[in-house]
Amino acid sequence: MSESMALVGLDVHQAQTVAAVLDRVTGELDVKRLRGAPGDVVPVFLEQLGRPVRAVYEAGPTGFTLARAATARGLDLRVIAPGSIPRAPGDRVKTDRRDARRLVRLFAAGELSFAWVPSEADERFRDLVRCIDDARKDLMRARHRLSKFLLRCGLRFGARQWTQPHQRWLGSLTFDDALSRTVFIDYCCAVDAVAHRRRTLIAVLEDAVAASSHAETVARLRCFRGINTLTAAGLCAEVGSFERFAKPALLSGFLGIVPCEYTSDQKRVQGQITKAGPTHARRLLVEAAHHYGAVRASARSSAPATTARTHASSESRGARSGACISAGRTSARHAASRPEPSRSPARASSRRSAGRPRPWTDPFINIQPRAAGGCRGAHE
């Protein structure tokens, strides 16, 4: 940075923005309030400073519109990751002016890390992936409401739920009173509506993968067992560009699947994973690792069933979770470093064929019931 360059910290909101301008030569700090949409008033304010400027603002609900507008005007405006901003435990006072002043001071000290700004097409693709995940959560909540209502009424299905036998059992239920019948019909309609909504969104995603910038990466990730089209698209949408990580360890740290550590003198203690970064991508990796382990366990047909059950029961829950985290970390490192032969992205097929080469004409979802001993796909 040259000495004549001004540093600006922006606290951006929907209707107004607070700008803190730091003069590197005199050390003078000036705070101004800008009223209006950030994309309209902030670039004009930065241009009116009349000197080279570098500005930062914290990523938030306003998105990356301001960063793109500034880049189009040739301005150096960067987005700060919220987790990189240190905050004192006893700091109980928060105002827009304090936040803007803190940003510019940390920026001048070099204590901030910058977030990756996706293109408009990549951001739309990520919004679709997150919308599908929201539909998955809504479906889980709707199913829980229905199952818990039936449990309160003393009705319980003895086998695996949400299969075709379970659907037929639900269709055979009757209630004597009108109130319980109304509640049951409403819960069933809610489950069907959310399931149809999720299937529609997945179909749109399947068509959008081929035209997106992540098409080749999705095809490579699908070569790993346990990773299907929906899982690969979710990882690409959350990570963005794998090339921005110089080595696989940086990608593992970004995904939060590295152990936390406390080292002092001769003592070194490592604990659970940090769980930093995108929660959605980390969940997809862990589910893919669970699916990979389930496929390998079902493939051991030569071992007696009693031996397999005894071995599974002897493993602790922590050991199984640690193994899945380790497998997810390995998959992330391979995705960042290991070259795989590219192939055209295929539709997400049935649960049993997850992770295997499939033609594009396969159905994107299989709603048939699984046979005994089947395994759940990572896209579920």
pLDDT digits (tens, 9 = 90+) for 8-18: 999 999 999 99
Domain end position, chosen among 163, 186, 213: 213
Confidence of residue 335 (pLDDT cuts 50, 70, 90): low
* Pairing, β 6-12 against β 16-23: antiparallel
DSSP string, 234-291: HHHHHH--GGG-SSHHHHHHHHT-SEEEEEETTEEEEEEE---S-HHHHHHHHHHHHH
Are 103 and 10 in a shared domain? Answer: yes
Distance CA 341, CA 223 (A): 9
Range of the domain at 74: 6-109
CATH number of the domain to which 12 belongs: 3.30.420.40
284 part of a folded domain: no
181 part of a folded domain: yes
Are 105 and 123 in a shared domain? Answer: no
The pLDDT value recorded for residue 184 is 97
Q: Residue with structure tokens 């049993």?
A: 352
Confidence of residue 82 (pLDDT cuts 50, 70, 90): confident
Q: Residue with structure tokens 């306003």?
A: 62
Confidence of residue 337 (pLDDT cuts 50, 70, 90): low
DSSP-derived 3-state class of residue 343: coil
Domain end position, chosen among 81, 109, 137: 109
Question: Which stretch of 55-69, 263-277, 304-318 has the lowest confidence by average pLDDT?
Answer: 304-318
The pLDDT value recorded for residue 5 is 87
The pLDDT value recorded for residue 85 is 87
Are 153 and 189 in a shared domain? Answer: yes
Are 62 and 81 in a shared domain? Answer: yes
Tokens representing 310 are: 């005894």
Distance CA 255, CA 185 (A): 41
Report the Cα–Cα distance between both ends of the chain, in Å, rounded.
49
324 part of a folded domain: no
191 part of a folded domain: yes
Q: Model's pTM, two decimal places?
A: 0.77
Are 127 and 166 in a shared domain? Answer: yes
Buried/exposed code over 147-166 (b: 16+ C-beta within 10 A; e: otherwise) = beebeeeeeeeeeeeeeeeb
Highest mean pLDDT among 20-34, 141-155, 314-328: 141-155
Domain end position, chosen among 41, 74, 109: 109
The pLDDT value recorded for residue 24 is 86
Pick the residue with more confidence: 150 or 308?
Answer: 150
Are 104 and 176 in a shared domain? Answer: no
Are 167 and 101 in a shared domain? Answer: no
Are 105 and 187 in a shared domain? Answer: no
Average pLDDT of 206-226? 94
What ranges make up the beta strands (E) of 50-136? 53-58, 76-80
Work out the mean pLDDT of the chain and round it to a whole number: 83
Are 85 and 162 in a shared domain? Answer: no
> Taking the mean position of all CA atoms in its chain, how far away is CA 22?
36
**pLDDT one-digit tens code per residue, 172-204:** 999 999 999 999 999 999 999 999 999 999 999
165 part of a folded domain: yes
194 part of a folded domain: yes
* Closest listed residue to residue 241, CA positions, set 275, 208, 214, 211: 214
Is there a contact between 335 and 232 (Cβ–Cβ < 8 Å)? no
Is there a contact between 351 and 375 (Cβ–Cβ < 8 Å)? yes
Are 13 and 103 in a shared domain? Answer: yes
Distance CA 370, CA 160 (A): 10
Is there a contact between 348 and 380 (Cβ–Cβ < 8 Å)? no
Confidence of residue 88 (pLDDT cuts 50, 70, 90): confident
73 part of a folded domain: yes
Give the number of domains in the chain: 2
352 part of a folded domain: no
**pLDDT one-digit tens code per residue, 259-295:** 999 999 999 999 999 998 899 999 999 999 988 877 6
